[in-house]
Structure 1
């Protein structure tokens, strides 16, 4: 194109660059023919009830038939998304917004301060170090050099007692099966062999000799992504010895538990083992590493409540527990008699859910009030000293990493739905915080509002929700809105900035996050109220959130999209099959969607505290069968426009859940709303997802959502 030679034209061109370019919506594109999903007769019987499962063949993820099915489905999905005129513009805007430096909370080991950093669009975060606050940053470990595709990530690292060695764990292609290597800090040389097949593990050093880690035995030559994992093993690896000689400390067939984790406390003297069979409730065992051939002492011998050893100091053990305190408390006992009958309160239970950190000889009580953070400082006797003044209503996502008894200050990371994460330095003696590292993202929180509301669920329960949007939007029912939920496994969903949502907010859309029963926002009772035969409460809470948004005219059913991943993917699958009229667009991501077979694969057996088991009883089977998204799909129902997302190497929630749900939904769907799946290759449940693929996937979601709502897109350059 020729350069403009008319001054007026040039001026108009310059002015137009300062305004968003509106890309109009295209006519909705119907999908006339979905790829063929073969129906193969298969029937299972549960307590006398025959259940058909015609797509069970898709559970064989590695078969030629399944791989061909994935390729064909991806081709149809990509063709559909390519038709959307602003798909590329959204991707470019996300790339532009994403491209800023991001830091983690720093921590000191030996003479160095370490921190994670991403320069902007790097696929994985890099571990850096420097000698003092004003020192020169040095790359210490860069996982981006580990793989060409950028899908190898650092999932865990731990320094030895004197800081001379670092054990680090990596995930390849997002797998939960990891590898562990040990690096000499002085010259970055690798010490000994790389361990394989660690899974769901901590790294806990015994001096500088070796470390404890967790694993499962593998079958089928370690090639299966679906094999069950039920007998966790806590092992000890001595440096410069083969992995085959690693010592079994706990677990395996002699002490079968689904999860066993190790932690070394008391300045390296004591090994704490946490044993569990599900996402809630654990045993605590203690072993004195200074005594040769010492036996484990049982601190808590049942699986009914959650317990965590914070530290052991001067012969006293400090434990955060739910025992007789469903919202949590901190207790103390003599190390010689650590059992519950000898516990004494240090920080009693209060009205808010309590988590505890220890740093600089102080306890920091992180209280969760209606899903929002409030932190108070106490001495070792439980005397209140300071309340940390946070910059706004939000969350402290990381607090006092790797802190030590002698520390005079610590760092924490503050964020909210409209505040990009910033790092603060906190002086323990004065209780004063100072901004240490502000976000450089070009985003103005003052232009947006994030407020908390409370609404009533179906049974009258009051449920909190935080709604975020650009100031001065009109509440006329036309705003594109994304409603997010999770509601499971005692996990609290707290305010956190996500760069992905900048697209929605810039377009004048609404982001709503509901804190559903099944989560941990109000303690163990709130969690239990969304489990097993009370799981419908979670779905009712979410449906009520959608109805509230419509009633208050934030949006309408024609402009409402819903999203959730993993257990949240189950949530989306359940509510869209129960109330298909309520939502325009649905994004079930890496979801648990077949509730009759979830415990057949990988770690699914460990989810039965929340879900129950289809083999448990006839009543439990019937309850699960009734809401199971895969089984709840009915012929001739108009379901929302749906884009299912999963990954072919997901070895936590196996992708067959998504495959089977999608195949059946394509068969029964009535009307023009598309039913598509986006299967990412060589990635897993989420760990190590590359920046490039995160941007691609989110751009596709926004394009799919706006297009199916019949909206144009304002392109901000």
Structure 2
């Protein structure tokens, strides 16, 4: 037995040394020379040297040649790694399994995203409400946009009745995008294409048009030119983009780096979020039922992340971390929505709140002891109860329209690949909707959560 152990130990050492020598069997890397220039900038009286400023000109021939030489060095090294192909094959096998997103209902159809395994982009499928999901058809397949795969699908938004869809595409990885409008029934593209859109969502107002955001198109490089005044526009279907109405961001007082517009489900309010950085936002609301209504300020500072979760008549329901780092939900009248008038609906807890709405309820998801916990509330703040989940793990979903009777959510843990469940809002019960087809048997594994007292 000892001799066998010694033989195995010697073999392991030999293999280790062999693999190590294979990984190091490359010539020393000869990096290209990067020239330093005499360049300085005065920041508030402090002179800062910037010898590589020339590389910021992404359109110059010198920068182009520098990038090419760097790529030559990089890929020469990578191509000579002896076990690179083995890693690729192993990762390809691991990643090659079906992945499915939680369904959502728009008009007469139920939509969902699915990736067969190794597709570059998820495909959007749909089937008629009430029919068997096995009869689903392809609605949008972004993998077919261009043969070389350089056009990707961004956002997707549907009109009130689901008869129209607007979706954004990115060409060549650019942040500047196009928005195309489609007849959701026939899949025909209309003439309402919007160009030069950057960092934008799409939010429909009824079936008439949608709000989107962009900057003035810069002169020169799209990659390095400064864009710091985001503007919110409204596009009415059947009109030219040049006729789109500027809603917010056109005057110096409204200058912000990021501006987003969102229409509440009842089409009564337009919510406008204005940001000067990636965290913290000002918040405004406009009553769309009154054509000449003024923009009402909810928050005039960027000390918090606050947004409108839902509206009901004159009542707004806000999610905020203002004086509540773990977030809470408050309610306030739209006519006088400043913070001093807020009333707590779901108070802050020791866990971070991630809420969603659907079926006439609020679903408050918390991560407690590294696993998801979901509580169901009504809009008076009354706790209906905790949702019984399939096990210990992470969930996402419980989104839908106010009159939806069923919602969907995804569940996963260490031994369960992303699985979709259907939730009956009234009965508060879950049933399996779709389990991915995968060469894996979770029954072969055990996952337990164990607590220990630290020393």
TM-score relative to the length of structure 1: 0.57
Q: Secondary structure at the match of 1:375?
A: strand
Distance in 1 between residues matched to 2:43 and 2:228, nearest whole Å: 23
**Is contact 1:205–1:264 with CA below 8 Å preserved after alignment?**
yes
Q: Secondary structure at the match of 2:318?
A: strand
Q: What's 1:428 paired with? A: 425
After TM superposition, the structure 1 stretch with the greater mean CA deviation from structure 2, 409-418 or 23-32, is 23-32
CA separation in 2, counterparts of 1:315 and 1:355? 24
Distance 1:450 1:239, change over 3 A: farther
Of 224, 229, 232, which aligns to 2:230? Answer: 232
Helix, strand or coil: the match of 1:262? strand
Cα distance in 1 between the residues matched to 2:446 and 2:276 = 43
SS of structure 1 residue aligned to 2:139 = strand
Change over 3 Å in CA distance of 1:239–1:98 after alignment to 2: same
Measure how far apart 1:372 and its partner are: 4.0
3-state secondary structure, aligned to 2:251: helix
8 A contact 2:351–2:366 mirrored in 1: yes
For residues 170 and 451 of structure 2, what CA distance do their matches in structure 1 show?
A: 39
The whole-number CA distance in structure 1 between the counterparts of 2:366 and 2:160 is: 30
**Counterpart position of 2:178:** 179
Q: Which residue of 1 aligns with 2:39?
A: 42
After TM superposition, list the pairs within 5 Å mapping 1:254-265 onto structure 2: 254=252, 255-265=254-264
SS at match of 1:97: helix
Pairwise CA distance, 1:47: 5.0
Task: Quote the residue 2:73 is aligned against.
Answer: 76
Q: 1:394 to 1:234 in 2, by over 3 A?
A: same
Contact 2:218/2:226 (8 A) holds in 1: no
Correspondence for 2:386: 387
Which runs of no fewer than 5 residues in structure 2 stay unpaired?
Answer: 1-17
Q: How many pairs were matched up?
A: 432
Name the CA distance, whole Å, in 2 between partners of 1:266 and 1:54: 53
- C-alpha displacement at 1:88, in angstroms? 0.8
Aligned to 1:336: 335
Residues 360, 409 of structure 1: 8 Å contact kept: yes
1:268 counterpart residue number = 267
User: After the TM superposition, which residues 644-683 of structure 1 pair with which residues of structure 2 at under 5 Å, given as runs?
Assistant: none
The answer to whether residue 117 in structure 2 is matched with residue 117 in structure 1 is no
Secondary structure of 1:244's aligned partner? helix
Measured in 1, the distance between the counterparts of 2:432 and 2:218 equals: 51
Pairing 1:245–2:238 present = no
Q: Is 2:91 the counterpart of 1:94?
A: yes
Aligned twin of 2:303: 304
Which string of whole-angstrom CA distances, capped at 9 and with x for unpartnered residues, describes residues 608-667 of structure 1? xxxxxxxxxxxxxxxxxxxxxxxxxxxxxxxxxxxxxxxxxxxxxxxxxxxxxxxxxxxx
1:406-421 matches, within 5 Å, as 406-416=403-413, 419-421=416-418
* Contact 1:97–1:442 (8 Å) recurs in 2: no
| SS across alignment from 2:64 | helix
1:164-215 deviations in Å (ceiling 9; x for gaps): 1001111122222111010011211112231112222121111111110000
Which of the pair is proportionally richer in helix? 1
Alpha-carbon distance, 1:78 to partner: 1.6
State the alpha-carbon separation in 1 of the partners of residues 213 and 342 from structure 2: 29
Mapped partners of 1:349, 1:430: distance in 2: 27
Work out whether 1:439 is the aligned partner of 2:436.
yes
- Cα distance in 2 for residues equivalent to 1:388 and 1:40: 62
How many angstroms does 1:412 deviate by? 0.9
Q: What are the residue-to-residue correspondences of 1:145-224 with 2, within 5 Å? A: 145-220=144-219, 223-224=221-222
Quote how far apart the aligned CAs of 1:53 are. Answer: 2.4
**Structure 2 CA distance, aligned partners of 1:238 and 1:36?**
54
Q: How does 1:509-520 map to 2 (within 5 A)?
A: none
Q: Provide the secondary structure at the position in 2 that maps to 1:105.
A: coil
Equivalent residue, structure 2, for 1:56: 53
Which stretch shifts more, 340-349 or 364-373? 364-373
Query: C-alpha distance in 2, partners of 1:448/1:64?
Result: 58
CA contact (8 A) 2:409 2:423 kept: yes
- In the TM superposition, residue 67 of structure 1 has moved relative to its aligned partner by 1.7
Check whether the contact 1:417–1:450 (CA below 8 A) recurs between aligned residues: no
**Cα separation, partners in 2 of 1:24 and 1:176, compared to 1, 3 Å:** same
Secondary structure in structure 2 of the residue aligned to 1:231:
coil
State whether residues 426 and 434 of structure 1, in contact with CA within 8 Å, keep that contact through their aligned partners in structure 2.
Answer: yes
CA distance in 1 between partners of 2:270 and 2:230 (Å):
17
Q: Whose strand proportion is higher, 1 or 2?
A: 2
Report SS of the residue matched to 1:220.
coil
Distance 1:38 1:327 in 2: 48
* Change in 2 beyond 3 A, CA 1:454/1:409: same
Q: Residue 452 and residue 49 in structure 1: after superposition, are their counterparts in 2 closer, same or farther (change >3 A)?
A: farther
Q: How far apart in 2 are the matches of 1:276 and 1:371? A: 31
1:439, distance to aligned residue in structure 2 (A): 2.8
Determine the C-alpha separation between the residues in 2 that align with 1:329 and 1:301.
Answer: 19
Q: Aligned runs of 1:589-600 on 2, under 5 Å? A: none
Q: Provide the C-alpha distance between the structure 2 equivalents of 1:265 and 1:300, rounded to a whole number of angstroms.
A: 18
Q: Structure 1, unaligned stretches of length 5 or more?
A: 1-22, 457-461, 463-717
CA change 1:152–1:453 in 2 (3 A) is farther
Q: For 1:373 and 1:408, how far apart are their aligned partners in 2?
A: 23
Given the superposition, is the C-alpha separation of residues 414 and 138 from structure 1 closer, same or farther in structure 2, using an over 3 Å criterion? Answer: same
Q: Please tell me whether the aligned partners of residues 178 and 199 of structure 1 are also in contact (alpha carbons under 8 angstroms).
A: yes
- Shift of the alpha carbon at 1:54? 2.3
- SS of corresponding position for 1:421: strand
**Contact conserved, 1:97 with 1:441, CA < 8 A, in 2?**
no
Instruction: Output the CA distance in 1 between the equivalents of 2:181 and 2:261.
Output: 18
After TM superposition, give the deviation of residue 415 of structure 1 in Å. 2.9
